[in-house]
Amino acid sequence: MSSPSELISFEPATGAELWRGAHGDVNSIVRAARKAWPNWAAQPLANRIELIRRFANEVLKDQDELADLISRETGKPLWEARTEVEAVMAKVDISVRAYADRTGQRKLDSALQGTAALRHKPHGIMAVLGPYNFPAHLPNGHMVPALIAGNCVILKPSEKTPAVGEKLVELFNRSGIPEGVVQLLIGGPDEGKEVVAHRDVNGVLFTGSAQVGIAINKKLATDPGKILALEMGGNNPIVVWDTPKITDAAALIVQSAFTTAGQRCTAARRLIVKDTMYDELMAELKKLTDRIIVGAPHDEPAPFMGPVIDNQTADQLTESFVYLLSHGGKAIKHMRRLNDDLPFVTPGIIDTTAMDERPDVELFGPLLQVIKVDDFDAAIAEANNTRFGLSASLVGGTPQQYNRFWANVRAGIVNWNRPTNGASSAAPFGGIGFSGNHRPAAFYAADYCAYPVTSTEMEQPRASVGVGFKDS
């Protein structure tokens, strides 16, 4: 049994307890960060970059242990956890380049007007609120650029994946970054709300659901001095148009919809397909989906997808499938629970063309809705039939149709003949509408980790007055 002051993490694939720890004290953690910040911000940029590179080396030393921990705490297959660890290490070089490119120094000399200079300053104390689906890579994507810029970081991991968050902070501290500069805040929603609202926290970098992101946005609406970057979810469309490559199209759909058990913000939630292609594509898609191995992280042969994060999530997904069925949906592949006690679910595919109103929500799991349309304008309109705007893909079609799709679809990531997910960290990452607040992450994370300061400078004061003064 746990006490109210303890947080416990369980392995989704087994139900076994993995980790437990005490809730953190927000005030004391913020005080320690405030004390550490002046010295960290005053460090030469080269020193901070050197320490961040040491962090990448520490991750390399523990890469197998970290991948195993991610697998056990999230349920994702070990092969996928390893790719997450690789992304954590790769983020360092990307962030160093991004800082130079996005927030570098500029000077413009003028003999009479002195020097005009552009430099950037860190905000101060940044609270990073991480998600459970990529508990190392996604918070790390905020933390590394924030630290390079000279901020202190408080990581509050998801209450569902605290062990990975603890390990990540340990690796930062082990690299020589002072403990007050990178700290761990263990807790649930209460600790999250407290650190967001804390007067000595200068920025909030959030990755998670639109519901929580909007709540944070409302909370900080009267505090314009606090930087806020929201990286939220998506109700992402994948449109399949004229193409003879049905097998490839089906593979792209499966990768988009069911990788990470559908627990990606960029996962395809809605498949929009030309009516003349429907029968052939559905037959191929169902055949491929039937071959998906669902299993525990370390199973052999390796599974394509593991469980969802917990039983509550599995229950919500199966209930959503039933809701869609009872409101006009037609099952193509039923979603099933494989074990009543563990959150393993099979991928579900449901035709929702006949539904009067399709719920515009992010069903965060392996559940794909299919909609038939008869012309390309209708496909674009259906793709835009959402308050979200993160990711969209067109599979097939002509270059001219892709140009129309790119120009008219509302999303921050628009792909052609590629999955909706798998975006590069070397490019900006973010969306519009309920998917974000126009502060894209990844390569553009440097933009919200420091603010520009413009200066005009001369070594000696020099000035004269002209019109409007009496003769002396």
Active site residues: 231, 265
The DSSP-derived string for 129-159 is E--SSSTTHHHHHHHHHHHHHT-EEEEE--T
Helix (H, G, I), strand (E, B) or coil at 332: strand
- Residue 345 has a CB neighbour count (10 Å cut-off) of 26
98: which strand partners? none
**Segment holding 219, helix H or strand E:** helix 210-219
User: What's the Cα-to-Cα distance from 97 to each of 10, 54, 56, 92, rounded to whole Å?
Assistant: 38, 16, 15, 9
Q: For the chain, report the end-to-end CA distance as a whole number of angstroms.
A: 87
* Burial classification of residue 341, based on how many CB atoms lie within 10 Å of its CB (0-12 exposed, 13-18 middle, 19 or more buried): exposed
Do residues 154 and 126 lie in contact, with contact meaning Cβ atoms separated by under 8 Å? yes
Helix (H, G, I), strand (E, B) or coil at 434: helix
The DSSP-derived string for 58-117 is HHHHTHHHHHHHHHHHH---HHHHHHHHHHHHHHHHHHHHHHHHHH--EEEEETTTEEEE
